[in-house]
Amino acid sequence: MNIYLDHAATTPVRPEVLEAMLPYYSNIYGNASSTHGFGREARAAINASRDSIAESLGCRPGELMFTSGGTESDNTAIFGAAEALREKGRHIITSQIEHHAVLHACERLERLGYEVTYLPVNPAGLVSVEDVEQAIRPDTILITIMYVNNEVGTIQHIEAIGELARRHGVLFHTDAVQALGHVPLTLSELPVDLASFSAHKINGPKGIGALYIAPKVKISPLLYGGNQERKRRPGTENVAGIVGFAKALQIYGESMHELQQNLEKLRQVLVDGLESQLADSFVINGDPVHRSPHILNVSFPGVGTESMLMNLDLEGVAAASGSACTSGSLEVSHVLKAMRLPEEVTASAIRLSFGYGNTVEQMEEAVQKIATIVRRIRIK
């Protein structure tokens, strides 16, 4: 039995989503910017999908800009805000555990003359709200803190940080890619100015995402060349992808409570099984309370991350490290480094993430395979 436990990286497209998309690859293929009937049909699909996504996210349709995914959304938010507000200031606040789409964008801005404060986190991966407040300066123009960490699943205090940003008149962006479908979101009620999303994390297609832009927030575009997306993101729209995104989010919205309960159950089966098989010889990384149910980051001291992943792959289990791969070898996760965990923990961590298609039986089999590999390697 092959077992896919890397849903935080990407997810399988649900059959209903694929079915909704197929007509836009065959019969309804017009360019949504065209004025003829083919184009108008495509435009109608985009408008209906935007309305549906906005309803699911609790915002207005005009506040959503479609992108190619989370990375573009993050980059657009950060570079767009930095450019639009450069006369006001050039200081940005982020955290040490952000996705590289945020960290690398901030590093680029530093090379362009901006200053960036990279906030630390505690051993559970939480950013201190007090640290955020202390870092704010008169020239601070943007705070960007992710909602749910993609490696350990820790949920940040987004509302508290957002309220703080508003009191100081600072724009607040959150990378909500891993939060989508796992944390209830009503954007009109959240103190968030910019939020990034991606469809392929919720059983939608790859290559489509969205950036929420709150009313009155001005950002400069990354791209130029057309009037699409209110001149904020030119280019021919990915109609099939947008339709698929809307369908995937609709499914999540209709059964979110049930889905989260199932994910909690799968996670608990894994944890209980590991405790039964390996007692206290493993460590769970991340916050035990403020966490998303779909991610379990766990370390097996004495068993290197690379060895564990390779052996799991040979056994038909797909997992991940969350670490960068350079020249064929894994680097220690920047997230776990920032959490200041012991070296034996950071060097043996793997990420198990689950979702649609996973079963209790798969979790039980995965536990057996993991335990067998751990025992075999530790004996050597």
Which amino acids are annotated catalytic?
325
- The residue written with tokens 């350990």 in the block is 152
162: alpha, beta or left? (left if phi > 0; alpha if psi -120 to 50): alpha
Range 211-250 burial, b when 16+ CB lie within 10 A, else e: bbbbeebebebbeeeeebbeebbeeebbbbbbbbbbbbbb
Among residues 43, 54, 61, 67, the alpha carbon closest in space to that of 235 is found at 67
The 3-state DSSP class for residue 177 equals: coil
Range 25-52 burial, b when 16+ CB lie within 10 A, else e: eeebebebeeeeeeeebbbebbeebbeb
Tokens of 185: 């979101």
For the chain, first and last CA: distance in Å?
A: 27
How many helices, marked H, and strands, marked E, lie in the chain?
13, 14
Q: How far apart are CA 257 and CA 235, in angstroms?
A: 37
HSE-CB of 191 using CA atoms within 13 angstroms: 17
Q: How far apart are CA 145 and CA 176, in angstroms?
A: 9
117: alpha, beta or left? (left if phi > 0; alpha if psi -120 to 50): beta
Torsion sign over Cα 371, 375, 377, 378: positive
